[in-house]
C-alpha cells in the first residue's frame, strides 16, 4: 500500500507573460488550480490544471467540498480506480469543464506520485516513445499583432530551427487573414509549417470559404474553425478542403473525440490534459487517435505535454506558449527546434514553492 494521508487543493493566479488575443477573447490570467497529495511514507505528488481567467474558484470549490476527501485512505498507486471513483462522485456535473479541470488536478498529482515512486520520468512511464518532440510557436502569432510583427516572429522561429508557427485568424474580412498569411509564407519559404487557429469563431459556411483562401498559403492545419459541439459542420469542412482540420482543446471527454474520429471530422487531435480530465483520459484519447492513424498535437501546457507527446508514437508537435516561468525554477529544454522531455522522476516540472506561495489567492 501507498496510502494517501493528506490532500490539499489551492489556487495560484498567474498574470499573462505577454498580450494574447484571438478571434473571440483575450487571455486575462492563468488561474492555476493545484492539488498536492501526501502518502504515509512521506512521498508527495503535485498536480495542476488551469483556466484562462474565469472559473478557477469554482473548480477549487468542487475539489475542496466534494473530491479531496475521497482520496484519504486510498492506495495512491491505483490511479485508474481513483479517477473512476471521483468521476462517479461528480455525475451530476459531468461531462463538463469544471469537473474535468478538477479531475485533472487530482489525476496529474497521482501520476506525479506514481512516476516518483517508480523512479521514472513521466514520458517513459506513460509509454516511452522518444525523448524529443518537434516544437511550434504560437506566441508570435496573436491576432492583434501587425503583419510585420507576424513576419518577424515567424522568421525568428525558422532561424531558431523550429519547424512550425501558428497564426491566429478571424479578422473581420477574409482577405485580411489571407494577406497576413501570404506575407508570412513569402518571408519564411515553403519549409516552415504554418498553422492557423480561428478559436471557434466561424460558421461552417464561412470556414469553408476561408479555407479555400488559406490553401493559397500552404496552411498545415486549420484549428478550431467552428464551435466544438458542431461535429457535422467540421465534417462538412473536412470534406471541402485539403487543409487538415484540428480540434480538441475544447473537448472534455474521450467520447467527444471518438465522435469526431469515427465520422472523419478531425485530422489532428489537440487533446488538452487539463480539459479532458487528466493524464489518464489523455492517454486514452491519444491511443484512440492512433487507431484512426491520426496525430496528436496537444493544446497549451507545454511543460506537461512535452512528456506526454514524447510518450506516444503518434505525437506530432508541442505548442510553445510559456506561462509557468513565474513559478518554476527552470524552463522547458529546447534543442534544435525540439522540446526535450524532463528526465527526472515525476512530471519533471521544477516548481518554485516560494513564488507559488506569493501568488496564492485561495
As given in the structure block, the three cell numbers for residue 161 are 530551427
Q: Where do the DSSP E strands lie in the chain?
A: 4-15, 29-39, 44-51, 132-137, 164-168, 193-197, 221-223, 245-247, 268-269, 295-296, 318-320, 333-335, 338-340
Going from the C-alpha of 208 to that of each of 48, 175, 220, 271, the distances in angstroms are 37, 14, 16, 23
β-pairing, 4-15 vs 132-137, is unpaired
What is the spatial distance between Cα 56 and Cα 50, in angstroms, rounded to a whole number? 7
What is the spatial distance between Cα 107 and Cα 98, in angstroms, rounded to a whole number? 14
Secondary structure letter of residue 360 according to DSSP: B
Q: ∠227-231-237 over CA atoms, to 5°?
A: 85
What is the spatial distance between Cα 139 and Cα 154, in angstroms, rounded to a whole number? 10
Q: Which sequence positions are flagged as catalytic?
A: 168, 299
Give the residue from 280, 225, 288, 233 showing the smallest Cα distance to 256.
Answer: 288
As given in the structure block, the three cell numbers for residue 132 are 524529443
As given in the structure block, the three cell numbers for residue 58 are 469554482
Q: Which residue has the cell 470534406?
A: 239
What is the spatial distance between Cα 292 and Cα 267, in angstroms, rounded to a whole number? 9
Q: Note the Cα 131 to chain centre separation in Å.
A: 18
As given in the structure block, the three cell numbers for residue 218 are 500552404
Contacts of 218 (CB under 8 A, 6+ apart): 185, 190, 194
Amino acid at each position: 500500500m501507498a496510502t494517501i494521508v493528506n490532500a490539499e487543493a489551492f489556487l495560484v493566479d498567474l498574470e499573462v507573460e505577454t498580450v494574447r488575443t484571438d478571434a473571440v477573447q483575450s487571455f486575462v490570467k492563468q488561474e492555476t488550480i493545484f492539488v498536492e497529495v501526501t502518502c504515509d511514507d512521506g512521498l508527495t505528488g503535485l498536480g495542476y490544471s488551469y483556466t484562462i481567467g474565469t472559473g478557477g474558484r469554482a473548480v477549487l470549490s468542487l475539489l475542496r467540498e466534494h473530491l479531496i476527501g475521497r482520496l484519504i485512505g486510498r492506495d495512491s498507486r491505483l490511479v485508474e480506480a481513483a479517477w473512476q471513483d471521483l468521476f462517479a462522485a461528480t455525475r451530476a456535473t459531468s461531462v463538463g469543464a469544471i469537473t474535468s479541470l478538477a479531475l485533472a488536478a487530482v489525476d496529474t498529482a497521482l501520476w506525479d506520485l506514481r512516476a516518483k515512486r517508480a523512479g521514472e520520468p513521466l514520458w517513459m512511464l506513460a509509454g516511452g516513445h522518444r525523448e524529443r518532440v518537434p516544437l511550434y510557436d504560437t506566441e508570435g502569432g496573436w491576432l492583434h499583432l501587425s503583419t510585420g510583427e507576424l513576419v518577424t516572429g515567424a522568421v525568428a522561429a525558422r532561424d531558431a530551427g523550429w519547424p512550425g508557427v501558428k497564426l491566429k485568424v478571424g479578422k473581420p474580412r477574409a482577405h485580411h487573414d489571407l494577406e497576413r498569411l501570404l506575407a508570412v509564407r513569402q518571408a519564411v519559404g515553403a519549409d516552415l509549417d504554418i498553422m492557423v487557429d480561428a478559436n471557434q469563431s466561424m460558421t461552417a459556411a464561412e470556414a469553408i470559404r476561408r479555407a479555400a483562401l488559406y490553401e493559397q498559403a500552404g496552411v498545415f492545419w486549420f484549428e478550431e474553425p467552428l464551435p466544438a459541439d458542431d461535429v457535422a459542420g467540421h465534417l462538412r469542412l473536412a470534406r471541402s478542403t485539403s487543409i487538415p482540420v484540428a480540434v480538441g482543446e475544447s473537448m472534455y471527454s474521450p467520447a467527444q473525440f471518438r465522435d469526431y474520429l469515427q465520422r472523419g471530422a478531425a485530422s489532428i487531435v489537440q487533446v488538452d490534459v487539463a480539459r479532458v480530465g487528466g493524464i489518464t483520459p489523455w492517454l486514452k484519447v491519444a491511443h484512440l487517435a492512433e487507431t484512426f492513424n491520426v496525430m496528436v498535437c496537444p493544446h497549451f501546457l507545454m511543460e506537461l505535454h512535452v512528456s506526454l507527446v514524447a510518450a506516444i508514437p503518434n505525437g506530432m508537435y508541442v505548442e510553445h506558449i510559456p506561462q509557468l516561468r513565474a513559478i518554476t525554477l527552470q524552463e522547458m529544454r529546447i534543442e534544435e527546434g525540439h522540446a526535450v522531455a524532463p528526465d527526472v522522476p515525476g512530471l519533471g516540472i521544477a516548481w518554485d514553492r516560494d513564488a507559488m506561495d506569493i501568488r496564492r489567492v485561495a
